[in-house]
Amino acid sequence: MPEEKGFSVRQDEPIWITGAAGMVGAALTKHLQTAGYTNLLTPARSELDLCSADAVQDYVSQHRPKHAFLLAAKVGGIVANINDPVGFLDENLRLVVNQLSACAKAGVEKVLLLGSTCIYPRECAQPMVEDSLLTGPLEPTNEGYALAKIAGLRLAQSYQKQMGMKCVLPMPCNIYGTGDHFDLARCHVLSALVKRFSDAVDQNAESVTLWGTGSAKREFIHVEDVVRGMLHLFDAETDGQIINLGPGTDVSIAELAGMIAEQTGFQGQICWDTTRPDGMPRKCTDNTRLKQLGFEPRVSLNDGIARTIQEYRQTLSNNPYSANAA
């Protein structure tokens, strides 16, 4: 396998990072700052409304970034997607169109647009290869988000083909880890399970009831590996291709729940509310392209779960009322 690359961008070159307050954006920003990068453009939402085309164009024209990591998105778990399909489609479309348009007009050299494996069809052959895109219907529970991501990556590829703006298009599997939140109304499955089982232990609960059947399978990548992967792919010759970013292995939600229950010390009963949806039956990536480019994740799922439990425990010690947040 080719040797893993470093990040060769000069430390003083202007790099625009959107979504810098989010889990991935914050991890990337911290990583680059630690590595000595001194010209990071990380405007907060209060400083720059990414849904305003004029505001985004003015910002990019003024600051003239040479490179961009477009990480901002309206994100959420299955509940949030079901409750707000308009928001997930409309806002994410505005975000991606405005950002890419501004980058192209300002002459940004290279853009990384972070995608998601939800772009692949619901009944996609497993493991999912990049060429499976647009070969079948999407998972209905997150169709709006997926459509916006698909439009964004195709727009980025079109800018590269027509105007020469290079694009890097990693498609990560389920991201978790440092900087994630534990709000059950918005968080993703791994963080939600960490909260549910940790709280159950603290409350001496005899059972925990989870959505679905537990049979759905998911693939997970720690945010630390996402940052490493993005920087590696930014330097690689990807030719504007979609690149799956994940370990290439998955677990069922029931297996994941068992792993988290064991690590939190929960010994009660795990029940399943089968009236609730499972979402897409399976989402496991084929990471052949990723490995050919010289990258593999390092953080194992067991180690990542342990770190996430520790981080949740830390949030409770900092704010004892957060355990009751819904």
Contact 60, 107 (CB under 8 A): no
Whether the bond into 14 is cis, omega within 30 of 0: no
Rounded-to-integer distance, Cα 34 and Cα 28, Å:
10
The helix (H) or strand (E) run that includes residue 273 is: strand 269-273
Tens digits of residue pLDDT in 87-107: 999 999 999 999 999 999 999
Contact 175, 23 (CB under 8 A): yes
Give the whole-number percent of the chain exceeding pLDDT 70.
Answer: 96
Pair of tokens at residue 51: 């849904």
**164: amino acid identity, one letter:** G
Name residue 145's beta-bridge partners: none
Backbone φ, ψ for residue 171 (5° rounding): -115, 90
CATH number of the 15-320 domain: 3.40.50.720
Tens digits of residue pLDDT in 174-203: 999 999 889 887 778 999 999 999 999 999
> What pLDDT sits at residue 77?
74
pTM for this predicted structure: 0.93
Pair of tokens at residue 72: 């901002």
Mean pLDDT of the chain: 93
The dihedral built from the CA positions of residue 205, 209, 214 and 220, taken in this order, carries a sign that is negative
- Please name which of 225, 230, 233, 244 lies closest in space to residue 297, comparing C-alpha atoms: 225
Give the residue ranges of the annotated binding site for NADP(+): 19-25, 114-117, 149, 172-175, 188
Rounded-to-integer distance, Cα 258 and Cα 307, Å:
16
Pair of tokens at residue 95: 């975000």
Give the residue ranges of the annotated binding site for substrate: 196, 211, 218, 278
3-state SS, residue 253: helix
> What pLDDT sits at residue 280?
81
Rounded-to-integer distance, Cα 170 and Cα 247, Å:
13
Catalytic residue among 120, 145, 176, 312: 145
Give the residue ranges of the annotated binding site: 19-25, 114-117, 149, 172-175, 188, 196, 211, 218, 278
Reply yes or no on whether 176 is catalytic: no
Give the whole-number percent of the chain exceeding pLDDT 90.
Answer: 85
Contact 109, 165 (CB under 8 A): yes
pLDDT class of 8 with cuts at 50, 70, 90:
confident
Contact 103, 14 (CB under 8 A): no
Contact 292, 1 (CB under 8 A): yes
Q: Does residue 115 carry a pLDDT above 60?
A: yes
- Give the residue-averaged pLDDT of 138-162: 96
- Please name which of 28, 309, 21, 265 lies closest in space to residue 177, comparing C-alpha atoms: 309
pLDDT class of 312 with cuts at 50, 70, 90:
very high
Please compute Rg for the chain using Cα positions: 20
> What pLDDT sits at residue 38?
96
Query: In this structure, what DSSP letter does residue 69 have?
Result: E
- Give the residue-averaged pLDDT of 249-274: 98
